[in-house]
Amino acid sequence: MSTRTAGPTGPGSAGTGSPWRNWAGNVTSRPVREVSPASAEELAAELRRATRDGLRVKTVGTGHSFTSIAATDGVLIRPDLLTGIRRIDREAMTVTVESGTPLKRLNVALARAGLSLTNMGDIMEQTVAGATSTGTHGTGRDSASIAAQIRALELVTADGTVMTCSEKENPEVFAAARIGLGALGVVSAITFAVEPVFLLTAREEPMRFDRVIAEFDQLHTENEHFEFYWFPHTDNCNTKRNNRSAGPAAPLPRLGGWFEDEFLSNGVFQAACSLGRAVPPAIPAIARISSRALSARTYTDIPYKVFTSPRRVRFLEMEYALPREAATAALRELKAMVEGSPLKVSFPVEVRTAPADDIALSTASGRETAYIAVHLYRGTPHRGYFTAVERIMTAHGGRPHWGKVHTRDAAYLAEAYPRFAEFTALRDRLDPDRLFANDYLRRVLGD
């Protein structure tokens, strides 16, 4: 076996291994041991070993969740060796990929093969299983989250069974495990639907807040992918419309793209956030300058080069999924709350959309959705802002993103998700002894 193991192995040494921290640095745990299995069979053996040792198990990808969904004081599984494409089926138009493969590597490999996912989120640092298990999404009128593009998955359950799930094979597991929160088992491989690579034309344009709100439904309807950012303490927004194009390709010039995406959006923005954290009264002035720094631009490129952007400034994030028809009212309330409070908010608010899907615990399950995401620079006190935002979002029936900061519990979520009981019943069947439990899952799913 090629499994790598690190840290002490005795069941009585819980929490004595090397500490693990997430990307944002707000979650830390100390597992007893870390393992890196190289196959589904090695993964199954590690699960059986953990059961014998009386240890809980969690899998972690790149740590891009802001919640403690991957934290454990037992066995931490790192999927570093579960990477790469198993097969591309051009007849079925699918790709099967190992669960620890970073989205970036998948996107590049698919592009080389003349293929692409239909939609994706705005970063691609996560592993495919980490992204799908927490409900990572982009924006789309007709095309949904990354998990909604799954056609089959391989799941290793608590007793070491390697189970294949699809609409035809174990369909009741497939209905839930595409966004499984790490509660049903460990995903070892995923089969995604793909299509021939295509071009997207991105049109980015500054727009006033009141106009975006007034035209939100129209902008959503007229564009395949629409999103916008509002800069708190201003009336300024930056809109982005992505639509399929017959070409020709017209990528961003290398220097111009670097200047806006790296120098302004990362380098200068990092300095502005650091200044704002040190001198909070300066934040409104900084926001006015920042919101005017990005100019209108149009470019055409392959999907992952349009959908995704580098995000090097570290932050904390809360995101809620609302019924799409509630979005504009919630945004007006959010703006009024910021303007009527002493809060100083240095990060823009991001707004995206998604069609309804059929995944049990998807934030878009059964309803057309608008996502409202708020951020604060890492190290900035966040509780006051996030609490006020959460109060607005829950009043509109919001569902929190599983991987982003929130305070909701199983009682709230059982009301928010019509299929919540379906998921927890499946969990009882697949993991009756709660091998995959941790504090976060106890809060959001009950025990």
At 264 the pLDDT is 58
Check residue 16 and give its pLDDT.
57
Which pLDDT does position 261 carry in this prediction? Answer: 62
Q: Tokens 């692409």, residue?
A: 116
Buried b (16+ CB within 10 A) or exposed e, 310-344: ebebebbbbbbbbebebbbebbebbbebbeeeebb
pLDDT along the chain (447 residues), means of 10: 47 59 96 97 98 98 96 97 98 98 98 98 96 98 97 98 98 98 98 98 97 98 98 96 96 68 66 83 84 84 94 91 98 98 95 98 98 95 97 98 98 98 98 98 96
pLDDT at position 205:
96
- pTM of the predicted structure, to 2 decimals: 0.93
The predicted pLDDT at position 270 comes to 80
